[in-house]
Amino acid sequence: MARIKKGDQVIVIAGKDKGKTGRVLEVLKDADRVIVEGVQRVTKHTKVGQSQQGARTGGIETVEAPIHASNVMPVDPKTKKRTRVGFRVEEGVRPDGRKRTVRVRYAKKSGEDL
């Protein structure tokens, strides 16, 4: 199970954007990187083209670039500070009556579920 998932609120702990917080937009699992909203913004030059409606596209735009997953930490929902992630095994009951074990991610500082 992943420690950081899409939609998590994270804080950057290293790099030029240290201290910034944002929501994870995408997780690049094979490269061990994440794309965080408003962090690691770079300028991208796109070639000028024409769309179907006749509008011109292209120019200079700013987009979020991937950042290594080790440089971000999840934000604790209770204290709003960074925290490590732990895993807890809970037992639940299915509608047909059988027992089922589920792994749940939780914040180690407060014990709240992530």
State the chain's mean pLDDT as an integer. Answer: 88
Residues 66 and 79 in one domain: no
Residues 70 and 82 in one domain: no
Greater model confidence, 82 or 93: 82
Q: Please tell me the number of Cα atoms within 13 Å of 21 on its side-chain side.
A: 12
What count of other Cβ atoms lies within 10 Å of the Cβ of residue 35? 18
Q: Write the DSSP string, the chain.
A: --SS-TT-EEEE-SSTTTT-EEEEEEEETTTTEEEETTSSEEEEEEEEEE-TTS-EEEEEEEEEPPEEGGGEEEBPTTT-SB--EEEEEEEEE-TTS-EEEEEEEEETTT--B-
Predicted structure pTM score: 0.76
For 16-67, the pLDDT digits (tens) are 999 999 999 999 999 999 999 999 899 988 888 777 776 677 788 888 999 9
Question: For residue 9, which amino acid is it?
Answer: Q
Domain that holds residue 96: 75-113
Indicate the number of domains in the chain. Answer: 2
Residues 92 and 43 in one domain: no
pLDDT score, position 65:
93
Residues 68 and 18 in one domain: yes
pLDDT score, position 106:
92
H-assigned helices in 1-114: none
Q: What is the pLDDT confidence band of residue 14, given thresholds at 50, 70 and 90?
A: very high
CATH number at residue 1: 2.30.30.30
pLDDT score, position 1:
59
Cβ contacts of 80 within 8 Å, gap of 6 or more = none
pLDDT score, position 54:
66
Residues 45 and 21 in one domain: yes
